[in-house]
Structure 1
Amino acid sequence: MILPDPMPLWLSLLLAFLAAPAAALAALALFHLVLDRVLRGQYAPVARRVVQDGRGALRVAVALLAVLTALPELDLPRQFVTAVGGVARLALIAALGWALTRKVAAIFDAWLDRSRLTEEDWMARRRRTQLVVFRRLWVSAGLALTAGLVLTAIPAVRTVGLSLFASAGVAGIVAGLAARPAVSNLIAGIQLALTQPIRIGDAVLVEGDWGHVEEITATYVTIVTWDLRSLIVPLTYFIERPVRNWTRTGSQLLDTIFVYVDYTVPVETIRTEAQRILDATPLWDRRAFAVQVTDLKERSMEVRVLMSAADAGRMFDLRCLMREKLIAWLAARHPNALPQERVEMTGAQRAVA
C-alpha cells in the first residue's frame, strides 16, 4: 500500500491562513451584497443599520472560524495546531462579542437617527434619552461580558481568579466599596432612563446655572449653560437633589416682570401699552397675558405683567424686551410715573423755600 506524500508545510500554512479565510470572507461579502440589495431603500432602516454596523468584527470572526476549521485537516505539527488554535479561539470569542455588541448598538443608533430633537416635541426627547442611556449600558455590559468570557477561557487566569475570590473575602469587600460610586452612577443611569427627571435637550436650573442638557453618559450629565460653559454633573445628583426642569412636560412657559410706579399712574394705560408691546413682537405666543396690581407699598405701587412664550430662550428675551419698552414708554409719556418722594412743607418753610 502506497501512502500519499505529506503536504508541504508552506502549502499547509497557505491554505490555513490565506486560502480558507479568503474563501470565507468572499462568501460573507456575497451574503452582505445580497442583503444590501434586499434592504435597499427607506423601508428597513433599522435592519440596514444592523447589517452595516459591526462588519469589521464579523469579518475577523469569520476568518478566524475558517482558520479553526482548516487547521485540523492539514498536515501541521500537533503542538503548532494546539497553540494557534487556542489563540484563535480567544480571538474568535472577542470578535464575536464585539460584533454582537455593535449589532445591538446599531438598533439604538438607528432609532436615534430617526428621532429628531426639538424643544417642542418632549416625547422625542424622552425617547432619545432612554435610547442613549440604554445604549451605553448595553455597550458596557457587552464589553464586560466579552472580557469575562475571554478570561475564563484561559485556564491559568480562571484558576487564579477563582482562588482569589475564594480566599480573599476582604479584598472583595474593599473592591465593592471602591466600586460603589461607579455602581451608584450605573443604577442612577437606569433610574434616570426610566423615570426621566431630565431628558436630552431639557432646559434646567442646576446649582444656580441655567442651561440645556447636552449629553447623558453612563456616569455624568453635561449641561451647556447660557454663556456656553459646560457644567459636568454626576448622575446621582439628579436622583438625590431637587432640580428645576423648565421643559419637563412641555417647553411653553409663563413668567412675569414687576414695575414699581407712583399711585397716580392709571393702570389701564399700562395694560394697553403692555398689550401693544406683545402684539408687536413674535416672541409672545399669544397664550396668556395679564396686568395686575399685586402689592401696595409705602411709596409705590407694584404692577405685575404676566406673559407666555414658546420656550425658555424666547421667554428670557421677552422679559427683557417688556422691561425695556415699558420703562421707555413710562419715561416718555408719564414722567411722574416713577416712584417719587413727597415732602409736605409748613408755611414758614414754604416762605423760606
Structure 2
Amino acid sequence: MVGFTPSKSEKPTMTASLTALAAELTQRAEIGPEDVLALRRLVWHDGGVNTAEADTLMALNSACPVRSPEWIDYFVEVMCDHVIHQQQPTGYVDDAKAQWLMQAIDHDGKVDSLAELELLVKVLETANSVPQALKAYALMQIEAAVVTGEGPTRKTGLMVGNGLLDKGAINDTEVELLRRVIYAQAGDGHYIVSRDEAELLFRLKDANLNAGHSAQWPDLFVKAIANHMMAHAAYQPLTREEQQNLDAYAADTSVSVLRFASRVFGHRTPDARLSKTVLDNSVSDDAAAMADAVVTHAERTWLDARIDADGAQDVLETQLLNFIRREQQEKSRYSA
C-alpha cells in the first residue's frame, strides 16, 4: 500500500475505519493475523504514520494482552517508521520523539510487553542517532527484569541449566537484548561500550553470581568490558545538527564547500571515550588502535575498584583479566 495516496474524501473514511477497528479490537482484547492485515491497509494508506495513528496503535498494544506474532512484527515496523523517519533529517531521533516513545510505552516506570521492548531495541539499531536518554531507558528495563525477576523478558517456570530462572539470573533473551542495545549504532559510544554500560554489566554480574544464567552471559560480560577498556573507533557518525547542516548545503549550491565544511566540522572535538591519545592526521588508524588498546592507569584503577567491591575475585573477573592479558599480548606481537 506504500505509495498510494487517497483522495481527500477517502481520508476521513479511513480514519473512521481505523477508529472503529481499534474499538473492536480493544473490546475483544485480542489482535490476530487478519487484524494486522486490516491495520496495514488502514494505517499505510498514505505511505506514512502520523501521530494520531501511532497513538492508536500504542493504545491497542496496551489494551490487547493476546497478540499474534504478526502483530509484534507490524508494531515494531510501523513505530520505527514513525519515530525514525517521520521528521527531518530522516534517521535521527530528536528529543521530542524520544520522549513521546518513552512516555507511550512506560507503565509506572516499566515496559510491560516484549513488543515494546523490541521496539526500543530496534530503534537503537536502526536510527543513525538517538538521545542518550533513550538508550539508558532500554538498558534500565533489562536490568530491572534481571534484578526483580519480573518483566517482559520473563516467563513462568523458565529453566536455565539445572535451576529455575529467578531474581538475578540472566536468560538468553536478556543476554541477546543487552548485546543488541550495547552495540547498537545509535546512542552513547557508537559500538564502544561506555562507562555507564560497563558499570551496568558489573551490577548484573554481581547480582547474578549465585543464580543460574544463560551460557552466553560470560562471553558478553568479558568482551564488553574489554571493549570498554581497549576498543578503538575510527568512525564517528554525524550528529543530528551536522546532518541538518549537510542537508541544507545539499539544497543550496551557492554555499562554499570549504566554508560549509569549516562551519560544520571545524570546531568538532573528538569524544574522549573514542581515543585516549591526541592524534594528528599523520598517525595511521592502526597506530591509533594500538594506542587505545593500552589499559591506562585510570582504567586499571576503575577495574580494580570494581573487582574489589565485593572483597573477592570471582570467576568472570578472572576470565576478564585473562582475556585482556591475551589481547594485549596479541597487540604487542602485531606491533613488533
**TM (normalized to structure 1)?**
0.25
Larger Rg: 1
**TM (normalized to structure 2)?**
0.26
